[in-house]
Amino acid sequence: MLLIHCPWCGIERPEIEFRCGGEAHIDRPGQPGDLDDRQWADFLYMRSNPKGLLAERWRHVHGCGRFFNAVRHTVSDSFVCVYKTGEPCPDLEALAREGAQ
């Protein structure tokens, strides 16, 4: 069971208090009607699913209730950082280089 730092509560809590919301930074298009079917399918379904660092959404559903984002390594399952919803995605490649050192 993962131990997850909630940036809103400022504490670490067990995974059971959280729901994973899948890949982060897949923003819903402002004008969905402007997208063709392929673009819309990309938004709805296509995921990077990387073996490595992944920015993903979590919600502290049985805590403060807030969504936030986290960067996690999908092989080690260790978290690299967490940040609040709305903040930009960190440079994953730079983080990966740091992690490798």
Partner 1 sequence: MSDLALYSPAAADGASVLKRSDVSVTRAAPLARLAFRGDATAAGKAGAAFGASLPMTPLAANPVGKRAALWLGPDEWLLLAAPETETQDVPWSLARSLFDEVETALATIPHALVDVSERNVALIVSGPGAARLLNTQVFLDLDESVFPVGQVTRTLFTKAEITLWRTAPDTFVLECWNSFAPYIEGLLATAPEDAT
Partner 2 sequence: MTQRNRTQEGGRIDREAPVSFTFDGKRYQGFAGDTLASALLANDVHLVGRSFKYHRPRGIVTAGSEEPNALVGVARSQARHLSGEATPNLRATQVEIHDGLAAESQNRWPSLSFDIGAVNDKLSPLFVAGFYYKTFMWPKSFWNKVYEPFIRSAAGLGRAPKKPDTDTYANTYAHCDVLVAGSGPAGLAAALAAARSGARVILADEQAEFGGSLLHERGAEIDGKPASDWLAGALAELGDNPRVTLLPRTTVFGYFNHNFLALAERVTDHLAKPDPERPRERMWQVRAKQVVIASGAIERPLVFPENDRPGVMMAEAGRIYANRYGVLPGKRIAVATACDSAWRAAFDIAEAGGAIAVIADLRADPPADLVARAAALGVRVERGCAVTGVIGKTRVKRVLLGRISDAGVLSAGEVDVDCLLMSGGWTPNVSLHSQARGKLDWQADKGAFLPGDPVQAQGSAGSCRGVDGLAEVLADGARAGVAAATAVGHEGDTPEFAATGGEAGDGWWLGAVPHDRDAARVRAFVDFQNDVTAKDVKLAVREGMQSIEHIKRYTTTGMATDQGRLSNMNALSIASGALGNEIPQVGLTTFRQPYTPVTFGTLATTSRGDLFDPVRKTPIHDWAAKQGAAFEDVALWKRAWYFPKGGEDMHDAVARECRTVRESVGLFDATTLGKIEIVGPDAAEFLNRIYTNPWTKLGVGKLRYGLMLNEAGFIMDDGVVGRLAEDRFHVTTTTGGAPRVLAHMEDYLQTEWSDLDVWLTSTTEQWAVIAVQGPKAREAIAPLVDDIDLSGDAFPHMSVREGHVMGGIPCRLFRMSFTGEAGYEINVPPSRARAIWEAVWANVEKLGGCAYGTETMHVLRAEKGYIIVGQETDGTVTPDDVGMTWAIGKKKPDFVGKRSLARPDLVAEGRKQMVGLLTKDGKTLLEEGAQVTVERSPARGTSALGHVTSSYRSPAAGRPIALAMIAGGRARIGETLHVPMPDGGIAVEVVRPVFVDPEGTRLNV
Partner 3 sequence: MTRFSFWELARKAVNAHQDWGHQWRKPDPKPEYDVIIIGAGGHGLATAYYLAKEHGVTNVAVLEKGWLGGGNTGRNTTIVRSNYLWEESEGLYDQAMDLWQDLSQELNYNIMYSARGVMMLAHTVHDVQVFKRHVHANRLAGVQNEWLTPEEAKAYCPPLNIGKNIRYPVMGAALQRKAGVARHDAVAWGYARGADQYGVDIIQNCAVTGIRRAADGSVSGVETSRGFIGAKKVGVVAAGHTSVVMDMAGVRMPLESNPLQALVSEPVKPCFPCVVMSNTVHAYLSQSDKGELVIGAGTDQYVSYSQTGGLQITTHTVDAICELFPMFRRMRMLRNWGGIVDVTPDRSPIIGKTPVPGLFVNCGWGTGGFKATPGSGHVFAHTIARDEPHRINAPFTLDRFRTGRLIDEAAAAAVAH
Chain positions contacting partner 1, by CB under 8 A:
8-11, 13-14, 16-17, 62-66
CB 82 within 8 A of CB 70: yes
Residue 73, number of CB atoms within 10 A of its CB: 17
DSSP 99: H
Report the distance separating Cα 4 and Cα 81, nearest Å: 10
Write out the binding residues for partner 2, residues 35-74 only, by CB under 8 A.
35, 37, 40, 44, 57, 59, 61, 65-67
Task: Assess 47 for contact with partner 3 (CB under 8 A).
Answer: yes
**Segment lying near partner 2 (by CB under 8 A), choices 28-36, 47-55, 91-99:** 28-36
User: Which of partner 2, partner 3, partner 1, none binds 13 (CB below 5-8 Å, type-dependent)?
Assistant: partner 1
CB 77 within 8 A of CB 35: no
Write out the binding residues for partner 2, residues 69-98 only, by CB under 8 A.
76-78, 85-86
* Token pair belonging to 5: 């730092």
